[in-house]
Amino acid sequence: MAPAPARPPRLLLCAFGPFPGVPVNPSQQAVRDLLKVSRPALAGLHIRGEILPTRWDALARLDALLDAFAPDGVVLFGVATRRRRVCIETRAVNATRDIPDAARRHPAARRLRTDAPDALFTTADPARLLAALRAFGVPATASRDAGRYLCNASFLEALAWELTLRRGDGGTRRPILFVHLPGRTGRPSGVSRLRMARALSGLVATFAHGARAARRQAR
């Protein structure tokens, strides 16, 4: 009997819904737009897009999604209204501020996870991803961390999930990334929606190289 064909690499793209002060979250539209861009480098991938509610209890939903889908790479997209450039986050911190979510609920504790270190760092390659964005003329920079709200919390959750798997399967490193989009539109000044979609699609295509490598190593 011939062996069953290997499954394609899985890529999870998550955006967020509205929250206080941001009635329309541009990360949702950004993910929808980038998935419409035809890009051969993404052929053969199983890409799943999800919109997470901006709620503290959505972290459990993210955990369940990660376990069920078992992605080889995860890209989370959020919005940072005070920033002017696209930001590649380099780490997540195991802390939060007492800020209400979209349901007006507050975090249960100041420390997000008792089983995680004070900070976890992205397992993706920020330099390559910044270059992918800048190739389309999109201003982008690396950021020290993802803040203390649900963007940071979800990033930490995904990194903690990846670390647990890596410890259990011999060191397979799955790329995990958080991208903050700027302003109310999710685009830097002067960048059209179409150019932004192409740039983010290029970023995901670059990111996918790491996801494919993780899948090959895990087999």
**Residues classed as catalytic:** 89, 151, 180
Contacts of 119 (CB under 8 A, 6+ apart): 91, 92, 93, 94, 145
Nearest Cα neighbor of 201 from 49, 59, 72 is 49
Helix (H/G/I), strand (E/B), else coil: 192: coil
- Cα separation, 137 vs 141, in Å, equals 12
- Cα separation, 191 vs 138, in Å, equals 7
| Backbone phi and psi for residue 15, each to the nearest 5 degrees, phi listed first | -120, 180
